Amino acid sequence: MATSQGAVFFMLVVSCVCSTVFHRDQQTWFEGVFLSSMCPINVSASILYGIMFDAGSTGTRIHVYTFVQKTPDKLGQLPILEGEIFDSVKPGLSAFVDQPKQGAETVQELLEVAKDSIPRSHWKRTPVVLKATAGLRLLPEQKAQALLFEVKEIFRKSPFLVPKDSVSIMDGSYEGILAWVTVNFLTGQLHGHNQETVGTLDLGGASTQITFLPQFEKTLEQTPRGYLTSFEMFNSTYKLYTHSYLGFGLKAARLATLGALETQGIDGHTFRSACLPRSLEAEWIFGGVKYQYGGNQEGEMGFEPCYAEVLRVVQGKLHQPEEVQRSSFYAFSYYYDRAADTDMIDYEKGGVLKVEDFERKAREVCDNLGNFTSGSPFLCMDLAYITALLKDGFGFADSTILQLTKKVNNIETGWGGHLSPVAVSGHLPLRTHTSSEAC
């Protein structure tokens, strides 16, 4: 995330299209930070640029946006998104928890992409922004801020425009909200008064988000405080159910399943699981920590004992709105990746699955660990966890429909296991959040 760790960067655009106003005490992160800084030096300038960094748990990504003002001499004419260039580095900033300067150097490396993509004449008026997601939210506050400080120093020394609060950690709930608006905007559900919307699910490395528009008063009455947020868009008011569960992303769940979260500092300790091949002995680095792990050398292995392990991670720990059993959802990030890895969907085209399809595939993989070959030794564990998260965590029915796709209305939304806009050429109009006038 999860994003989306994610749809955040496409919604940087869409949120301005919609003139979205979130009813929160805290100003939304994109408000006044990015697009409002992109006004050209004079109204005759026709091309604008913007640089956005997505600092996720597994990697840092740069998005260099190009905007065109078709009629720069006409006040009030909104710029359009012409395209995007992206690049990435691994691991994410959180892997440099004790080497913040080295972490910031990965951002410096990506800034060179921006220099190569943007004419030198535009550097001083091109804003650069970095938003970190769940990877940094999991870190101790002092260590996370040390990383962000070094990134700010990199930005300060760069030739680009650095807006106020250009480097920060994004609230997890915004990831879910922006992903939901992205999908429903692109599918046309937010135009007019039709509110037959679809929900969104995002499964990142460190966190997971669920967002949908409740249709029943019972859902609103029984939802915990803080899980509902209201906003206005297209002259309609939407009251969304949205929540981000930190620590329930796919990679964080692996650690919880292995029991590594409580004993991560024990040197030489090997964490074992019924979800892994019996003969496996390996090491894995996540969040800057190295873990030794392997299969059960003696004892049970396969789907049932594996499922019992992952069930302990989610059972009784997530809110279960009854309404989701009768809803349909778009699912992104690791939901998509694991479905594609096991040929449940086409890697490029995506597909439609039911929750029970994940369980069926998990049983197939886990009960044949000795014969199943995969690029990831965690495949059985991951599929079992996704099944448990959907069924026993969120409370979805076996028949709940999940739409897994990389494109919505021919606009690419998937890249590297995370939602992001890729070469968007749909010519979406932009409007700043706070003003109806251009610049």
Instruction: Write the pLDDT tens digit of every residue in 222-264.
Output: 999 889 988 776 667 888 999 999 899 999 999 999 987 665 5
Task: Copy the structure tokens of residue 94.
Answer: 């959180």
pLDDT of 26:
35
Residue 409 placed within a domain: yes
Tokens 């606009």, located at residue: 411
Q: Among 5-14, 98-107, 154-163, 339-348, which is the least confidently predicted range? A: 5-14
In terms of pLDDT, which residue wins out, 378 or 139? 378
CATH number at residue 415: 3.30.420.150
Same domain, 102 and 198: no
For residue 71, pLDDT beyond 80: no
289 and 356 assigned to the same domain:
yes
> 3-class secondary structure for the chain?
CCECECCHHHHHHHHHHCCCEECCCCCCCCCCCCHHHCCCCCCCCCEEEEEEEEECCCCEEEEEEEEECCCCCCCCCCCEEEEEEEEEECCCHHHHCCCHHHHHHHHHHHHHHHHHHCCHHHHHHCEEEEEECHHHHCCCHHHHHHHHHHHHHHHHHCCCECCCCCEEECCHHHHHHHHHHHHHHHCCCCCCCCCCCCEEEEECCCEEEEEECCCCHHHHHHCCCCCEEEEEECCEEEEEEEEEEECCCHHHHHHHHHCCCCCCCCCCCEEEECCCCCCCEEEEEECCEEEEEEECCCCCCCHHHHHHHHHHHHCCCCCCCHHHHHCCEEEEEHHHHHHHHCCCCECCCEEEEEHHHHHHHHHHHHCCCCCCCCCCCCHHHHHHHHHHHHHHHCCCCCCCEEEECCEECCEECEECCEECCCCCCCCCECCCCCCCCCC
What's the average model confidence in pLDDT over 139-161? 94
Note the pLDDT tens digit of each residue in 358-393.
Answer: 999 999 999 998 776 667 899 999 999 999 999 999
Pick from 141, 170, 199: which residue ends a domain?
170
- Asked if 90 and 179 sit in the same domain, the reply is no
- The percent of residues in the chain predicted with pLDDT above 90, rounded, is 46
Q: Which of 23-27, 203-207, 243-247 has the lowest mean pLDDT?
A: 23-27
pLDDT for the residue numbered 31:
35
Distance of alpha carbon 307 from alpha carbon 188, whole angstroms: 39
Amino acid letter, residue 112 = E
Q: Which residues contact 308 (CB under 8 A, 6 or more apart)?
A: 274
Q: Per mean pLDDT, which range of 104-118, 159-173, 188-202, 404-418 is the poorest?
A: 404-418
Residue 121 confidence (pLDDT) above 80: yes
- The reply to whether 286 and 139 lie within a common domain is no
pLDDT band of residue 152 (cuts 50, 70, 90) is: very high
What is the average pLDDT across 205-222?
Answer: 92
Predicted pLDDT of residue 261:
66
122 has pLDDT over 90 = yes
37-53 pLDDT per residue, tens: 554 444 444 788 889 89
Instruction: Look at 158 and 56; give whichever has higher pLDDT.
Output: 158
Query: Is the per-residue pLDDT at 334 higher than 70?
Result: yes
Domain-embedded: residue 27: no
Q: Note whether residue 20 is domain-resident.
A: no
| Residue 153 or residue 76, greater confidence | 153
Q: Do residue 199 and residue 162 come from a single domain?
A: no
Higher-pLDDT residue of 156 and 69 is 156
Specify whether 103 is located in the same domain as 227: no
pLDDT at 36: 44
Instruction: Tell me the Cα Rg of the chain.
Output: 22
pLDDT confidence of residue 364: 95
Residues 166 and 199 in one domain: no
Residue 13's alpha-carbon distances to 68, 108, 429, in angstroms, are: 13, 25, 8
Chain center to CA of 154 = 24
**pTM of the shown model:** 0.73
Whether residue 171 is predicted with pLDDT greater than 80 in this model: the reply is no
Amino acid 314 reads V
Q: How many domains, the chain?
A: 2
What is the extent of the structural domain holding 141?
45-170
Sequence-separated (6 or more) residues with CB below 8 Å from residue 304 = none
- 187 falls within a domain: yes
Question: Dihedral sign, CA of 353, 357, 358, 364?
Answer: negative
Mean pLDDT calculated for residue range 70-77? 54
CB under 8 Å to 310, separation ≥6 — which residues?
Answer: 253, 257, 275, 381, 384, 385, 387, 388
Q: Which of 170, 188, 212 is the last residue of a domain?
A: 170
Q: How many CA atoms lie within 13 A of 423 on its CB side?
A: 4
Residues 115, 204, single domain; the answer is no
- Asked if pLDDT for residue 300 goes beyond 70, the answer is yes
Claim to verify: residue 165 and residue 186 sit in the same structural domain: no
Nearest C-alpha neighbor of 400 from the set 316, 335, 342, 340: 335
Q: Is 393 inside any structural domain?
A: yes
* 344 & 200 share domain: yes
- Catalytic residue IDs: 175
CATH of the domain at 111: 3.30.420.40
* Same domain membership, residue 398 and residue 276: yes
Residue 3 belongs to some domain of the structure: no
Average pLDDT, the chain: 79
Q: Among the ranges 68-77, 232-241, 405-414, which has the highest mean pLDDT value? A: 232-241
Q: Sort 142 into a burial class: Cβ within 10 Å, 0-12 / 13-18 / 19+.
A: exposed
Q: Which residues are annotated as a binding site for ATP?
A: 205-209
Chosen domain end from 170, 193, 208: 170
CA-wise closest residue to 295 among 374, 398, 366: 366
Cα(43)–Cα(218) distance, rounded to whole angstroms? 51
Q: What is the percent of the chain where pLDDT is above 70?
A: 74
pLDDT of residue 74: 53
Q: What is the pLDDT of residue 34?
A: 41
Q: Are residues 161 and 190 in the same domain?
A: no
Indicate whether 403 belongs to any domain. yes
